[in-house]
Structure 1
Amino acid sequence: MSGPRFRSARLDRLGSAIFAEVAGWKREARSRGLSVINLDIGSPDQPPHELLRSALAEASLREDSYSYPGTDGTLAFRETVARWFDRRFGVRLDPTSEILSLMGTQDGLAHLPLAISNPGDAALLPDPGYPVYGAGLAVAGVEAIPLPLMAENGYLPDFEAIPQAVWDKVKFMILNYPSNPLSVTADLAFFERAVHTARRHGVLLVHDNAYSEMAFDGIRPPSVMEIPGAADIAIEFHSMSKSFHLAGTRLGFAVGNKEALSALRELKNNIDFGVFLGTQAAGIAALEMDMNSPKPIAGLYESRRDAFVGALREQGWDVLLPNATMFLWAQVPAGWSSRAFSQSLLASTGVASIPGNAFGALGEGYVRLALVESESVLLDAAQRIGGFIGSTEPVGSE
């Protein structure tokens, strides 16, 4: 017999397993007595605001919170999303047909290809881009076509450079601004071009807007839904995980095109029963708080960004200053591959990062570092990195 009996060959198409591999590197480093600084996974290190924890606790004590919640999400949650969306973006949504609750945006993004595509279809994915995009396509049997994001274009895709033959077989394209891992933003003029392009070629525009509330220097990232007519051709995903430090509760939502949301809802009706009612209560409290007495998380990460980037530059690593998200996208020193640098850095210093090529071929030559530790820990990490860069020769590239 060749190969494991109880493992699908589909798993081989899921792409990079680097997150699990880095976890193994961390275990090895700890076994040798190193103190590890976790800058690899974008998991918030702070708890949600006390108001949100109280809302979750109170709802959890209610006897009626433990029935199946329903895939749509409660009407109260969807109506609150609609009010928040109108306040934040000036866009009115129908809570009954244009909003769908999710167990985090990753849930929706991973399942979307199964709901709207057929095996043999194709989709355009950002390169570099978040790995779950490709994983969802692999499970659905959909071909992934890279959408190059280049520094010379401000890390925005060049739609005109895509051959018509590609457009002819593409069912949808995914965009992500503010971008993970690139930490760049896009303006309304770009989204106007994106909507026009999607309409011209008859493809669904899927925008991952998980970091809409995590931009710096006064930037307020827009929604694609602000473009007139966008709901005819686009859907957008939003997350409660990063903006409100509710990562462990698993809550997000999708808005926009009714047909695409209906297809995703129909799929999810067959595979889950929706988000816990207590979690939705916490989500309502978060959005209400943001509308009535905002306590934005972005300031915390902007302060960490300034401290960490400044310290890294003092150590001789001239990394770029990101204008959004909780990540730094840093070019590795000359002579290193992404993977070799990330692995050697962790083995030598205990500082964990993610190799850039985990996010696509164009991520080679970079690493992603997450701002998910206190400023004092980040400054410690910068000192360790500086000592590594100053004393270690490249071990080769791959």
Structure 2
Amino acid sequence: MTMDFADRVERVEPSATLAISNLASELEADGVDIVDLSVGEPDFPTPANISEAGKQAIDDGHTGYPPSNGIPPLKEAIVEKLDGDGLDYTTDEIIVTPGAKQALYETFQTLIEDGDEVVLLDPAWVSYEAMAKMAGGDISRVDLSAHDFQLAPALDDLAAAVSDETELLVINSPSNPSGAVFTDEALESVRDLAVDHDITVISDEIYDAITYGVEQTSLGSLEGMGDRTVTINGFSKAYSMTGWRLGYVAAPQALIDQASKLHSHSVSSAAHFVQYAGVEALENTDEAVEEMRDAFEDRRDMLIDLFAEHGKEVPYPDGAFYMMLPVDDDDQAWCEGALEDAHVATVPGSAFGTPGYARLSYAASEERLKEGVERLADAGYL
């Protein structure tokens, strides 16, 4: 039997990081100690109060189907959190999802049809391109690498990339993979372009709680953006809840009404008891979030200094827990070599649309980060 596969799947390439992850798994299976700087996952345990809230929710019997779009207490807590960010949403304008990735997927599927133009800012998180292609979108890209990954110096390039034909623009600030936090000036220019060309904008704010000495502005809080911004966020990064799978989309009612159809016919809902853990995260976990953020900042500063000692100048990240290390033009080969020779796992910049870099995650202990840099230097990769 010969199977015919859907075009929407065949138009998506396998992840560019697959070779790295496969090689790392093979080496680890052979007993090799790998310093893994490739994983975008906090190395802290979920704060105890959140875990206890999840356990209590199970004990209280919250293990059946919840309301599809989310339990009222969590939606109310999300609305309050967003209000603190200057965003005006109601509980009817929220869908609670199993992870922010699902919120993004539902948004792409709801907004994009075959041939619609989607504009991405490179480096862009790997799944944006895949989601756009699966929805049938055509992708235009704006390269920020020449400007230390900041948007403000590249606004002319963005203005040239968008038009009245642009259906969707994706903004991710703080950024994965660069850690860049876009300035208010840049976001205001995004607003002006979106209004002029009638563009819907996704604002992926999953790292909004992880910034260092700068304030992240929520795009939808700007005048004129409330009815054209889809705000995506979740609990994985700020609260170290990656495995809990909890996120949300906040958007105008008309989009929520349509996306809810996809939501109800696919995942049905986020897990019931997990949502109660989400309430606890939003209401009682600020101190733990601050402690994790301070640790990430210390690690960032340490890495910047360590690379400088080896003559490597790294663009300074103001948020998230990633940095882009300049490497060889063939970044895939550099990352494979660094893994084989130095036993340090990183992610090729080409996976994010920006060759010539390797993404490092500093969501690892200071000891392992130091060891990773030493191994790279000793093996001649710095």
Q: Does 1:113 align with 2:104?
A: no
1:371 is matched by which residue type in structure 2?
Y
Q: CA RMSD in A?
A: 2.3
- Counterpart selection for 1:61 from 59, 62, 70: 59
Q: Offset at 1:134?
A: 0.9
Partner of 1:395: none
State how far apart, in whole Å, the 2-side matches of 1:377 and 1:386 are.
Answer: 14
Q: Offset at 1:56?
A: 0.7
State how far apart, in whole Å, the 1-side matches of 2:71 and 2:31 are.
Answer: 48
Q: Do 1:137 and 1:144's aligned partners in 2 also have CA atoms closer than 8 Å?
A: yes
Q: Do 2:233 and 2:247's aligned partners in 1 also have CA atoms closer than 8 Å?
A: yes
Partner of 2:338: 345
Give SS of 2:17's match: helix
Aligned length: 381
Give SS of 2:380's match: helix
State how far apart, in whole Å, the 2-side matches of 1:119 and 1:163 are.
Answer: 23
Q: Do 1:150 and 1:156's aligned partners in 2 also have CA atoms closer than 8 Å?
A: no
Larger deviation: 42-51 or 24-33? 24-33
CA 1:350/1:154 → structure 2, altered by over 3 Å: closer, same or farther?
Answer: closer
State how far apart, in whole Å, the 1-side matches of 2:83 and 2:276 are.
Answer: 20
Once the two structures are superposed, residues 354-394 of structure 1 have per-residue CA deviations (whole angstroms, 9 ceiling, x without a partner) of 0000011xx11000011121111111111101112269xxx
Partner of 1:75: 72
Q: Do 2:126 and 2:351's aligned partners in 1 also have CA atoms closer than 8 Å?
A: yes
Q: Do 2:8 and 2:135's aligned partners in 1 also have CA atoms closer than 8 Å?
A: no
Partner of 2:168: 172
Partner of 1:367: 358
Q: Do 1:312 and 1:319's aligned partners in 2 also have CA atoms closer than 8 Å?
A: yes
State how far apart, in whole Å, the 1-side matches of 2:283 and 2:97 are.
Answer: 19
Q: Offset at 1:229?
A: 2.9
State how far apart, in whole Å, the 2-side matches of 1:199 and 1:284 are.
Answer: 34
Q: Does 1:90 align with 2:86?
A: yes
Return the TM-score normalized by structure 2: 0.92
- Counterpart selection for 2:215 from 220, 232, 254: 220
Q: Offset at 1:227?
A: 0.7
Q: Offset at 1:16?
A: 4.6
Q: Offset at 1:254?
A: 1.6
Q: Offset at 1:36?
A: 0.6
1:189 is matched by which residue type in structure 2?
E
Q: Do 1:124 and 1:170's aligned partners in 2 also have CA atoms closer than 8 Å?
A: yes
CA 1:164/1:90 → structure 2, altered by over 3 Å: closer, same or farther?
Answer: closer
Q: Do 1:116 and 1:263's aligned partners in 2 also have CA atoms closer than 8 Å?
A: no
Q: Do 2:107 and 2:259's aligned partners in 1 also have CA atoms closer than 8 Å?
A: yes
2:307 is matched by which residue type in structure 1?
L
Identity rate of aligned residues, in percent?
23
Structure 2: segments with no counterpart, 5+ residues: none
Q: Offset at 1:32?
A: 4.7
CA 1:67/1:148 → structure 2, altered by over 3 Å: closer, same or farther?
Answer: same
Give SS of 1:132's match: helix
1:385 is matched by which residue type in structure 2?
L
Partner of 2:49: 51
Larger deviation: 132-141 or 342-351? 132-141
- Counterpart selection for 2:308 from 307, 313, 324: 313
Q: Offset at 1:280?
A: 0.8
Return the TM-score normalized by structure 1: 0.89
Q: Does 1:377 align with 2:373?
A: no
Partner of 2:260: 265
Give SS of 2:300's match: helix
Larger deviation: 173-182 or 18-27? 18-27
State how far apart, in whole Å, the 2-side matches of 1:165 and 1:308 are.
Answer: 35
State how far apart, in whole Å, the 2-side matches of 1:147 and 1:257 are.
Answer: 27
Once the two structures are superposed, residues 250-303 of structure 1 have per-residue CA deviations (whole angstroms, 9 ceiling, x without a partner) of 111122322223222221122121111211111110110146886453112111
1:352 is matched by which residue type in structure 2?
A
